[in-house]
Amino acid sequence: MAAGAAGDFRVTRRQRAVATVLLLTCLAACGGGGGVTSTPTPVNTTPVTPVTPTPTSFDTSEYRRSNGAVQAQAITAYQAGASGAGVIAAVIDSGVDPTSAEFAGRISPFSGDAAGNRGVSDEDGHGTQVSALLLAARNGSSIQGVAWGATLLSIRTDRPGSCAATDGCGFGNTAIASGIDTATSVGARVINLSLGGNAASPTLVAAISRATSAGIVIVIAAGNEKGSEIDPLAASAIAAAAPGTVIVAGAVDENNVMADFSNHAGAAGASYLTALGVKVRSFDHTGTAYLYSGTSESAPIIAGAVALLAQAFPNLTGKQIVELLLRTADDLGDAGVDAVYGHGALNLARAFAPVGTLSVAKVADPLSLAGAGSLGGPLGDAGQTGAALAKVPAHDSYDRAYLINVAGLLTREPVGRLAASLFGDTVRSSAGRVGSLGFAVATRGGDGLAWRGEAMTGVQDRRDPGQLLTGQAQVALAPDRTAVFGFGQSLGALLDSAGGQGALGLAPLVTGRSDGLGVLAHDRAGAAVAQRLGAWTASFGIGELRLGEPLRPGQPLPGLATASRAVLRLERDIGRLHIAGSGELLVERGALLGSRLAPAFGLNGASTASAVLQLVLPLGGWSLAGEARLAHSSADFSGAGLIRHAEGLVGTAGSLTLVHGGIIVPGDMVSASIAQPLRVSGRAELAFGDGGLTGFGPSGREIAAEAQYARPLWGGTFGFGLFWRHQPGHILDAAPDAGGAIRFRLGI
């Protein structure tokens, strides 16, 4: 250290002693900063848009040169509309180059020399390069600071003549304290101290206390002594400040590895945050571009982050900003706060994303970014309601306003539904009869060789080897009365068995029954009884469904949803024509037409009544089957959710299937089908709307067609088919879904 005046306690900057400084080449051709290329850190994407979005592109060559801002993922803040504009950021250092275009028009008139009468001009370059990292202009030249729109309060505090010393400029406690008081009086939101040395004097302690009590955040360098504890000045700043208002800046390299010169967090881990501090691009008081290394460079990067948050969210206190930056840091080193990296590395993308609980006005339950449930099947993409859910106004735990893309948090049925019908199982089947009781069961084999379609559907099949897949027992109660009990089969299939109607055609690829609620609905158990009444057969059945499993990994659905289904059917033959009419009631608990929604939606359940007409007509060697369904749903919303209520939910479904057997060899079969899956639409009132009703239902209409051929082979069944779907999932802009399948099942 250079000798100081008697009785004058000094704080000295140690940047020169340990920092690597590399002169960049190509200065003139590259705008003063372009000789070294940089690969920018990818910017995280989330389904969250802050309330002040801007379409401007910020991924410029200047931004990419600004590796301090890039590693901090500052582009996320820029895309949210933040630049630091209107925020005063104080840099207490060796001054700044007031003639530089990088600071033009943004140097506060309250800037000055707290250690003399020299003005703010920088004799050393340290103050200029630190200020540049914090707020150099976004002007296409050299680099841009993290908070390129902020106002610079430059307080020069280097003791006159000390910058000529080999160990760096000397800074007195009194001058630093005066600079801090100036920052407090003019309303600065952040003070950068890229300084180090002995513990603060009582005068400096008092100034720090006054500033932080006024809500100012102080960012101070950890020091470059390779120590296990932070610099004494930084430690005394924490002790002097109001709780939670100081961030100590440690240095990491471009891989977020602790710099070999940086002091570690030590006992100050609760206040310690790292940022790029190795080969950081900036420029000195002459405009010459360098790569700097030191915790002096990490500090202004973090101070710039403070300024961005202060502008974007003016409701935040200084303490809240500090808490946010520490809370959203990328955890490095040992899990949690540790003695090396403290809280970890600065991450502005996470700091600008919602944190904690998300609340919506007039909605009782909070939103969760972990998922909002599943939507699909009969409701498709929910149309206008789905579009409105892409911009839900909400506040996070820090009362920051956002537009949340709730629609993007909803999982959907796979648009390519083919693989759901191809869930392969090594099936072990058994059948038999004991008196009037006939039974058949199918269980999964244990060899684990069956492909189950996860790659195409994104859906996990959670059934275990040996688990019962389907089962049915049929008993004749009387000559004209039959009862059927089943597991893992649709109620429609049980009614067909009870009434003596076999399945028509081949197992569909994409054109299933009209009562289908989608791939997330699973039949559990049911029972049906049929009674012949002359030429008529009356049958009644009840069944239970489970909704919501299997699921995509990491996309939990809220709670457990189940449904009960009851069907009353009358059928008879009129000549060669078989006709059946049904009345159905579906009661869902925690779901609406198979869709599962998070508690914030306020959905309790729904009931759906349907009228169904089925016809089967033999045509020579062919059979033509048709089914038409008209449904009306009543949704039970609590009135305190995102969806207040829904009305007018009416749906239709229908299909035509043409089947012929014995085309080529005995026992073979060919079929062709065209169908519209169940499609339900109506209107909904949203909690965040204007009180009017929006369209609640699919934006499109799916029409599916398929053709199949199957024949016996090697004791099993071999078949192939082709399919095509228009607007799959009832989504208007969905690309057509087309393909084919080959299936072979060997009975075991």
The residues annotated with a catalytic role in the active site are 93, 126, 296
301, 133 Cβ separation under 8 angstroms: yes
Q: How far apart are CA 284 and CA 132, in angstroms?
A: 9
Q: How far apart are CA 732 and CA 716, in angstroms?
A: 40
Nearest in space to 482 (alpha carbons), one of 418, 543, 545, 529:
529
Pairing outcome for strands 151-156 and 88-93: parallel
Q: How far apart are CA 300 and CA 327, in angstroms?
A: 19
Q: How far apart are CA 513 and CA 506, in angstroms?
A: 12
Backbone Cα Rg of the chain: 35
Burial label, 29 (beta-carbon count in 10 A; 0-12, 13-18, 19+): exposed
Q: How far apart are CA 591 and CA 585, in angstroms?
A: 15
512, 677 Cβ separation under 8 angstroms: yes
Q: How far apart are CA 191 and CA 247, in angstroms?
A: 10
The residues facing 655 across adjacent strands are 627, 675
- Cβ neighbours of 164 (radius 10 Å): 9
Q: How far apart are CA 733 and CA 517, in angstroms?
A: 21
Helix (H, G, I), strand (E, B) or coil at 667: coil
Q: How far apart are CA 738 and CA 724, in angstroms?
A: 4
Q: How far apart are CA 654 and CA 705, in angstroms?
A: 12
378, 651 Cβ separation under 8 angstroms: yes
- Token pair for residue 48? 């969250």
Q: Is the peptide bond before 55 cis (omega within 30 degrees of 0)?
A: no
415, 731 Cβ separation under 8 angstroms: yes
The whole-angstrom distance between residue 95's C-alpha and the CA centroid of its chain comes to: 43
- Residue 258 neighbours by CB under 8 Å, 6+ apart: 250, 251, 252, 264, 274, 332, 333, 340, 341
> What are the E-state strand segments in 114-166?
151-156
Cα-based angle 222, 223, 226 (whole degrees, multiple of 5): 110
* Backbone dihedral angles phi then psi of residue 408, each to the nearest 5 degrees: -70, -15
Q: How far apart are CA 279 and CA 293, in angstroms?
A: 5
DSSP result, 266-305: GGGGGGEEEEE-SSEEEE-TTS-EEEE-SHHHHHHHHHHH
b vs e for 590-603, b when ≥16 Cβ sit within 10 Å of the residue's Cβ?
A: bbbbbbbbbbbbbb
